[in-house]
Amino acid sequence: MMRSEPRALQLNEHGQLKHFLTLDGLSHAILTEILDRADSFLSMGEQSVKKVPLLRGKTVVNLFFENSTRTRTTFELAAKRLSADVINLNIETSATSKGESLLDTLKNLEAMQSDMFIVRHSDSGAAHFIAEHCTPNVAIINAGDGRHAHPTQAMLDMLTIRRHKGRFEGLKVAIVGDILHSRVARSQLQALTTLGVSDVRLVGPKTLVPSFFAEMGATICHDLEAGLKDVDVVVMLRLQKERMKGALLPSESEFYRLYGLTEDTLAWAKPDAIVMHPGPINRGVEISSEVADGRQSVILDQVTNGIAVRMAVLSMAMSGQLQSEDGAATGDEK
C-alpha cells in the first residue's frame, strides 16, 4: 500500500492544517500562520488566568512511546491552557507492553472519543502511520519520530529566531553537532529554507554530517571556524549517543575539543549572534556552561516559546479537523 504524501495527509480540503506530522511540503504561509498565532499566545503566560476556551470539551492524549520530560510537559501545558482535557498514557504500563498492538491501542483510545493524539515514537514514520490508520476526525501531532522529524521543536526555534532577529531573510544560521541522528536538524533545515534563510550551515565531523545533507539546501562544514564565521544564529545539538551504532566518534572530549561551543569559538560568530539548543544540554560535551548560561544564550526562551507554538499547532489542527467534518457533513467539495 502506498503511503500518503505528507502534504495531502496534513491538510484538509480547504488547505488548513488538520495533522502536524512534518514540515516537509508545508508552505511559507502556513509556517508564518503558526508563528503569528504563537506570538498571540505568548502574552498569556503573564496573565493571572492562563486559559482560553479554544479546545474546551476536547480530549487530548499524550501518547509517548519514548521518554521525554520537556516535550511532554509543554504539550500538556499547551493543551490545558487551551482548556482541553489531557490524558497522559504511560506506555510502560499500558496494554502495548502486554502484547496489544499499536493499532489495537489506537482503536481503544478512539472508542473513548479522543480528539487528538500527540505522538512521540522511536520509529521514523510512526506518526504518519497513525494518521493514516486512525479515524479521520482525530488530529495527530508529531512530537518526534526516530530520526525523521520534530516539527514543533523546529517551529519553536523559528519563533525564537524571529523574536530575537525580526526576520529570516539574510540570516546566516549554523547547526552544529550530530546532524546524522537528529530529527530536530532535519525539521530545522526544512523550516529555515521555507522561511527564506539561504545560508544554513551544517557543522560537524564527517561521520555525523554526511554529504547527502547538501541536497536539502545546506552547506556542509567539517571545520568549526568556517561553520561559525559571521553567523547570526548558532544551534548546538545534543549528541544522540543512544542512536549511534559503531565508533562514530573517538571520544566526547575529542568532539568537544573540535566542535564544542565555548566563549572562544563563539567569537567567530557575529557579536550579536544568539545561541540555541533543543535540550537536554550535555555541558562540556557540546557547549560550555559559560555559553549556555551567557548573555547570548536564548535556550530558556526556547522553552517558553515552545508552549506558545504548541498551543498554536493544537488549535490550528483542531480547527482544521472541524472544518473537514463540516465539509464532509454538507458534502462540500473543493
Please, which residues bridge with residue 220 across strands? 202
For residue 31 the three cell numbers come to 509556517
Residue 45 annotated as binding site: no
CA distance 266 to 260: 9
Residue 238 annotated as binding site: yes
Any idea which residue has 473513548 for its cell? 112
Which phi and psi (to 5°) does residue 59 adopt?
A: -115, 125
Residue 37 annotated as binding site: no
- Residue 71 in contact with residue 143, Cβ under 8 Å? yes
Distance set, CA 267 to CA 47, 272, 317 (Å):
38, 10, 41
Which phi and psi (to 5°) does residue 199 adopt?
A: -115, 90
- Residue 144 in contact with residue 66, Cβ under 8 Å? yes
Query: Which residue from 144, 151, 119 is spatially nearest to 134, judged by alpha carbons?
Result: 119
CA distance 172 to 160: 15
Query: Which residue from 111, 273, 178, 133 is spatially nearest to 119, judged by alpha carbons?
Result: 133
Sign of CA dihedral 158, 160, 163, 166: negative
The two beta strands, 85-90 and 172-176, are: unpaired
Any idea which residue has 504563537 for its cell? 38
Any idea which residue has 493544537 for its cell? 314
Residue 71 annotated as binding site: yes
Residue 183 annotated as binding site: yes
Residue 304 annotated as binding site: no
Residue 153 annotated as binding site: yes
- Residue 162 in contact with residue 35, Cβ under 8 Å? yes
Q: Which letter does DSSP use for residue 4 in this model?
A: P
CA distance 304 to 160: 9
| Distance, first Cα to last Cα, the chain | 26
Residue 56 annotated as binding site: no
Going by the annotation, the residues of the binding site for carbamoyl phosphate are 70-71, 120, 150, 153, 279-280
Going by the annotation, the residues of the binding site for L-aspartate are 98, 183, 238
Going by the annotation, the residues of the binding site are 70-71, 98, 120, 150, 153, 183, 238, 279-280
